[in-house]
Chain A
Amino acid sequence: EPEVTQTPSHQVTQMGQEVILRCVPISNHLYFYWYRQILGQKVEFLVSFYNNEISEKSEIFDDQFSVERPDGSNFTLKIRSTKLEDSAMYFCASSGGSPLHFGNGTRLTVT
């Protein structure tokens, strides 16, 4: 069965550094998403992306975040200047309509 693939599985970075989280969505899907889960908290929506533009974003998705689909297969989340509170599991998801299919996540640890 097709899967959403995320790399790396774990990323450790220092506060203030930039990180790029990478995702390969399911190949025929057109809708792409990023969600995150801070330890012990709910899974929270960050952003959705369709037709090469952001279709919806949450309050969490401020100017330090950006998304890109640099080619036909990858979907990336960039955090420009990481803060301690950005430490979380980041999940990429894709959809051909509904439901969303999630990757296994990237654990981001900001020290």
Chain B
Amino acid sequence: DAKTTQPTSMDCAEGRAANLPCNHSTISGNEYVYWYRQIHSQGPQYIIHGLKNNETNEMASLIITEDRKSSTLILPHATLRDTAVYYCIVRALNNNDMRFGAGTRLTVKP
């Protein structure tokens, strides 16, 4: 699976949009981009995934660049409860498992 690069940490003000970038410049055509988050002492929570089109659900939006080499997860109105480590993972269709990098520690501040 393609390697991903994320900033180590980010801060965001409560109520503002949180934009979390992810670089996956070696992504190949059959690899999807997945986002998870992990709140302290809990298991990872699935957020969203996509292949090449932008995606939106009740939690977030995923913007994938046209060349698919990077993506951005957008939490439109961050709350204190969104403070967590956010993981961007690239996985191919023929791979069963999911491997985590270091992620971005997002801190939402009042």
Do the two shown chains form a genuine complex with each other? no
Binding site for B on A (CB under 8 A): none
Binding site for A on B (CB under 8 A): none
